[in-house]
């Protein structure tokens, strides 16, 4: 476990160069930058949208500060954000893995920003993809410069997970996205730190940056990667890169692709040539802020899924398993053929049975992905990645039965008396320990509400006997679909 080796607090390394080093001067600078951002015609965030992520530049505040402030402006007075995943691409070190600062805290002139060591250590312990490399964080500015904007807009009470990508691999970006996907839900914020074109002339920068942002906002990783290649083929004078943090932006796109409820909103563009005192037009760097929102999930009244939707989901689940065996007798439908009901985001659990024997049960209480996509992923994970059971084999497939639990949005309860065993599933959460039981657990065990909560807290969340009494408890309902 990495927790045994406590890291020191990470002190600022570009304070006094990229931004003011004193508390009072920095606050004045931030106030000025946010006021400047307000003067621009910024897009409106719809009432039914939640902000899940943003893209912000990381140059010195005199150059990119107004653009950065425009990204953080909609976060002011929002109190639901608890954890911020800071993702950037290293400027100073080259390594294959993603580096996480897993303990200690980040210090800025505005005070201490706590690192969420629980999440960071969980990623380090469970995924070979992540490591801690001191040289990655020691002199890197791209995450550090975002902290004052977070402190100004969110005030206190949030924690961070600092992640730095060290190479130029789209496969690593995809793997990082897959590992972070369970955290890409409302209540968390992903901040992607990147600048755009480096060192072309002013007019060339405007032209190439416009195209790059267009493809970023398409939410299509293939188009985005092709755009970066096309930009290189243009042989624009002095263009050294179209986007210095493209691996971080690509990670974001792998998190959001195929989700029809996601919207990329370009907010404000400038480049260093727009700065009156210091900007020069012959050699510039481009900056763009982008907000990534998700349409809030509509409550599913009485889980009103049609028989066709249920049949589609079962077929999707089975196809997700069969694909592992490279079998094609289950046709995989295009998402264009799916109804809006199964394209909306929602929590899903998938249970796999061989004859009457449970062989896997994995799911997500909350998900920003469409239901059909989560069903595919959870069916595969249940069949092959549930370490409690032997993986399903090709020979067993004719006798494999699938059970899908479609979950309603979480509802916080103030008393366990509000829990109806057999009707409600529960989520028990304290700090960053959590556990859940589906509604059918109470039916099979005969537990009452208190027993269900106690077992969930102790057996699933690893709490002590009485810790559940001051934990957060949520209920949800489930629509069970069986083949």
Q: How confident is the model at residue 299 (pLDDT cuts 50, 70, 90)?
A: low
pLDDT at 294 over 50: yes
Burial 39-51 (b: 16+ CB within 10 A, else e): eeebeebeeebbb
| Domain co-membership, 127 together with 231 | yes
* 165-224 tens-digit pLDDT: 998 999 999 999 999 988 898 889 999 999 999 999 999 999 999 999 999 999 999 999
pTM: 0.72
| Domain co-membership, 327 together with 285 | no
Give CA separation, 68 vs 148, 191, 234, in Å. Answer: 11, 11, 28
Average pLDDT of the residues in 380-390: 93
**Any idea what the CATH number is for the domain that residue 58 is in?**
3.40.830.10
Q: Domain boundary at 295, 323, 347, which?
A: 295
The residues, ordered by sequence, that sit 6+ positions from 143 with a Cβ below 8 Å of its Cβ are 58, 86, 88, 106, 137, 162, 164, 193
What is the C-alpha to C-alpha distance for residues 363 and 352, in angstroms, rounded to an integer?
Answer: 12
| Domain co-membership, 58 together with 126 | yes
Q: How confident is the model at residue 113 (pLDDT cuts 50, 70, 90)?
A: very high
* 271-288 tens-digit pLDDT: 999 998 777 899 999 999
pLDDT: which is higher, 59 or 319: 59
Based on the structure, what is the number of domains in the chain? 2
Average pLDDT of the residues in 443-468: 90
CB 440 within 8 A of CB 464: no
The pLDDT value given to residue 4: 47
| Domain co-membership, 338 together with 475 | yes
The pLDDT value given to residue 331: 47
The pLDDT value given to residue 98: 95
- CA-wise closest residue to 205 among 129, 116, 269: 269
pLDDT: which is higher, 480 or 267: 267
| Domain co-membership, 273 together with 379 | no
Cα diameter, the chain: 74
| Domain co-membership, 269 together with 309 | no
Token code pair at residue 145: 């410069």
Average pLDDT of the residues in 57-74: 97
Give CA separation, 94 vs 12, 97, 135, 136, 168, in Å. Answer: 21, 9, 9, 8, 9
Q: Domain boundary at 235, 267, 295, which?
A: 295
| Domain co-membership, 328 together with 239 | no
**Any idea what the CATH number is for the domain that residue 435 is in?**
3.30.700.20
Q: 28 lies in which domain range?
A: 2-295
Average pLDDT of the residues in 241-254: 98
Helix (H, G, I), strand (E, B) or coil at 478: strand
The pLDDT value given to residue 7: 87
Mean pLDDT of the chain: 90
The pLDDT value given to residue 330: 45
Residue-by-residue DSSP string for 427-441: EEEETTEEEEE-HHH
| Domain co-membership, 312 together with 406 | yes
Rg of the chain on CA atoms, in Å: 24
pLDDT at 476 over 70: yes
| Domain co-membership, 327 together with 282 | no
| Domain co-membership, 320 together with 284 | no
DSSP 169: -
Alpha helices in 92-200, H assignment, sequence order = 117-126, 134-138, 147-154, 170-180
Q: Domain boundary at 278, 295, 312, which?
A: 295
Q: How confident is the model at residue 301 (pLDDT cuts 50, 70, 90)?
A: very low
In the chain, pLDDT over 90 holds for what percent of residues?
A: 69
| Domain co-membership, 322 together with 269 | no
* 24-49 tens-digit pLDDT: 999 999 999 999 999 999 998 887 78
| Domain co-membership, 120 together with 67 | yes
């Amino acid at each position: 476990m990495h927790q045994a080796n406590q890291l020191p607090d990470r002190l600022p390394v570009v304070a006094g160069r990229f931004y003011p080093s004193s508390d009072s001067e920095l606050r004045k600078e931030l106030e000025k930058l946010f006021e400047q951002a307000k003067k621009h015609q910024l897009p409106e965030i719809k009432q039914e949208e939640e902000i899940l992520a943003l893209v912000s530049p990381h140059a010195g505040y005199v150059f990119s500060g107004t653009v950065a402030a425009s990204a953080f402006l909609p976060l002011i007075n929002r109190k639901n954000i608890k954890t911020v995943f800071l993702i950037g691409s290293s400027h100073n070190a080259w390594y294959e893995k993603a580096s996480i600062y897993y303990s200690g805290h980040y210090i800025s002139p505005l005070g201490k920003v706590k690192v969420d060591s629980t999440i960071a250590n969980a990623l380090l312990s469970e995924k070979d993809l992540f490591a801690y490399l001191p040289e990655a964080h020691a002199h890197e500015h791209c995450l550090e410069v975002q902290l004052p904007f977070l402190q100004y807009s969110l005030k206190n009470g949030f924690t961070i997970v600092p992640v730095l990508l060290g190479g130029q691999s789209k496969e690593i970006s995809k793997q990082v996205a897959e590992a972070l996907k369970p955290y890409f839900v409302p209540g968390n914020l992903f901040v992607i730190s990147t600048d755009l074109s480096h060192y072309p002339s002013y007019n060339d920068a405007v032209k190439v940056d416009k195209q790059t942002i267009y493809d970023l906002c398409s939410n299509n990783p293939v188009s985005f990667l092709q755009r970066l290649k096309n930009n290189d083929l243009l042989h624009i004078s002095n263009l050294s890169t179209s986007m210095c943090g493209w691996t971080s932006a690509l990670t974001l796109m792998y998190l959001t692709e195929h989700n029809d409820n996601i919207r990329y909103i370009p907010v404000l563009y400038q480049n260093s040539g727009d700065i009156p005192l210091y900007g020069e037009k012959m050699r510039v760097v481009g900056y763009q802020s982008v907000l990534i929102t998700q349409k809030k999930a509509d409550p599913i009244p009485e889980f009103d899924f049609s028989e066709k939707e249920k049949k589609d989901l079962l077929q999707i689940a089975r196809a997700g398993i069969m694909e592992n065996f490279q079998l094609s007798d289950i046709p995989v439908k295009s998402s264009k053929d799916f109804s809006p009901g199964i394209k909306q985001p929602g929590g899903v659990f998938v249970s796999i049975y061989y004859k009457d024997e449970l062989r896997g049960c994995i799911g997500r209480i909350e998900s920003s992905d469409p239901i059909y996509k989560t069903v595919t992923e959870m069916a595969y994970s249940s069949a092959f990645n549930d370490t409690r059971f032997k993986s399903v084999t090709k020979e067993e497939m004719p006798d494999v039965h699938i059970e899908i639990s479609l979950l309603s949005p979480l509802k916080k309860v103030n008393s366990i008396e509000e829990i109806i065993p057999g009707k409600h599933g529960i989520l028990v959460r304290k700090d960053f320990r959590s556990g859940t039981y589906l509604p059918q657990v109470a039916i099979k065990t005969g537990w009452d509400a208190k027993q269900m909560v106690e077992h969930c807290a102790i057996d699933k969340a690893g709490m002590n006997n009485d810790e559940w009494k001051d934990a957060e408890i949520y209920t949800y309902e489930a629509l069970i679909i069986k083949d």
